[in-house]
Amino acid sequence: MTSHYDWRGGREAMMRFGLADAPVVVIAPPPFEEANRLRALMATVARGLARQGLAAVIPDLPGTGESLTDIAATRLADWRDAFAAANEAAGPVRLIASVRAGALFDGGQGAVGHWRLTPQDGSRLLRELVRTRIAGLREDGREASSATLTEIARNDGIELSGHWFTPALFGDLEEAAPLPAHPLRTVRLDGDAQPADHRLAAAPLWRRAEPGNDLELAQLVADDIADWMRTCLGG
Amino acid sequence: MLPEGSEEVEDAVRSVLRDVLGISQERVDAFAATTPLFGALPELDSMAVAGVLTELEDRLGIIIEDDEVDGEMLETFGALSRFAMAKALG
């Protein structure tokens, strides 16, 4: 069901799953293109958590989804503040779970623990978006380098995968790293070279051009988050 | 966790093509050095190339520069694997 949360910039929507008084997993989904690619997966994960007796919320961020906030006026600090407000509004006992670049704004007071799936920093996120833009230009018979596009983005702003990045937002993301979090469990997929606490045998759905779902991955994710919630709650 | 041998790198290239392009294990298992890729695999359009390169970077712990990406490197499975090996194993 749809509920809302208030933050300093206004009111945003929040999808809610599971019982009202259950411990709640506050999900920070990835922004931009991967938000579309993983929307169905996120909802399946949330329903999987509800089946395990937990609740889950997926907040809309300012300037994304149904939000009335203008993306052109949005900064990373807005997402961080909005997510922190959503976290506090979600319920008394909460765990924060973020996916991909959701780790750039998945902070908040009072969570019993943090869980991340394949976190990435802001420069990596931009690199992928810029690379996709270069591929698109090449299809139109035009050439551009990432250095040129980055320069344009820093000075004038740029559209990447259908989203407008102001120089301010682009600059925020160039510098952004996952927020400090404790206790933290970092989960990655098999084959990912970076360090992780646990690895899931699954393919990176966020790379697939066609929006889709992966029920097995959703189950693995929901089970691991539920286990981590129990560990953090001391049982 | 990084691949240490040429076979491991080739396996990584195979699984990246499988996962990013959404093609079956059976099909990628049949890829030989001479199997043509770009221009021959309908799933591998320019956008998908971006995903393949980025996923290769993640799995092999490498950085691929703009000027290293050309038609030759993506022409066959063998060419892409050789490129990945040179990057990953030095």
- Per-residue pLDDT of B10-67, as tens digits, reads 999 999 999 999 899 999 999 999 999 998 999 998 888 989 999 999 899 899 998 8
Compute CA distances B29 → A150, B18, B32, B37, B39, whole Å: 38, 9, 8, 14, 19
Backbone angles phi, psi at A178, to 5 degrees: -55, 140
Q: Report CB contact under 8 Å: B55, A204.
A: yes
To the nearest whole Å, the CA of B1 is away from the closest chain A CA by: 5
Q: How many CA atoms lie within 13 A of A164 on its CB side?
A: 8
CA A185 to chain centre: 16
Q: Report CB contact under 8 Å: B18, A203.
A: yes
Domain B6-89 has CATH 2.70.70.10: no
Calculate the dihedral angle through the C-alpha atoms of B17, B23, B26, B31, rounding to the nearest 10 degrees. Answer: -40
pLDDT of B4 reads 74
Backbone angles phi, psi at B36, to 5 degrees: -70, 145
Nearest to B54 by CA among A103, A97, A209: A209
The answer to whether A230 and B81 have CB atoms below 8 angstroms apart is no
Q: Tens-of-pLDDT digits for all 235 residues of chain A?
A: 889 999 999 999 999 999 989 999 999 999 998 998 999 999 999 999 999 999 999 999 998 877 888 877 899 999 999 999 999 999 999 999 999 999 999 999 999 999 999 999 999 999 999 999 998 888 888 888 999 999 999 999 999 988 899 999 999 999 999 999 999 999 999 988 889 999 999 999 999 877 789 999 999 999 999 999 999 998 6
To the nearest whole Å, the CA of A229 is away from the closest chain B CA by: 27
Query: What's the CA gap between A37 and A125, in Å, rounded?
Result: 14
pLDDT of A235 reads 63
The answer to whether B55 and B68 have CB atoms below 8 angstroms apart is no
The whole-chain average pLDDT of chain B stands at 91
Nearest by CB to B59, from A131, A147, A191: name it: A191
- The ranges assigned to domains in chain B are 6-89
Query: What's the CA gap between A175 and B54, in Å, rounded?
Result: 20
pLDDT of A64 reads 81
Phi-psi region at A117: left, alpha or beta (left = phi > 0; alpha = psi -120 to 50): beta
Query: What's the CA gap between B41 and B36, in Å, rounded?
Result: 7
Per-residue HEC secondary structure of B6-69 comes to HHHHHHHHHHHHHHHHCCCHHHHHCCCCCCECCCCCCCCCHHHHHHHHHHHHHHHCCCCCHHHC
Bridge partner residues of A200 (DSSP):
A189
Which positions in chain A touch B68 (Cβ < 8 Å)? none
ipTM of this predicted complex?
0.85
Domains and CATH numbers, chain A: 2-121+177-232 (3.40.50.1820), 122-175 (no CATH)
Nearest by CB to B48, from A146, A147, A209: name it: A209
Q: Does the bond joining A183 to the residue before it have cis omega, within 30 degrees of 0?
A: yes
Query: What's the CA gap between B50 and A161, in Å, rounded?
Result: 12
**Optimal mutation site among A32, A123, A131, A149, interface B, most CBs of chain B within 10 A:** A131
Q: Which residues fall within 8 angstroms of residue A1, CB to CB, at 6 or more apart? A: A15, A16
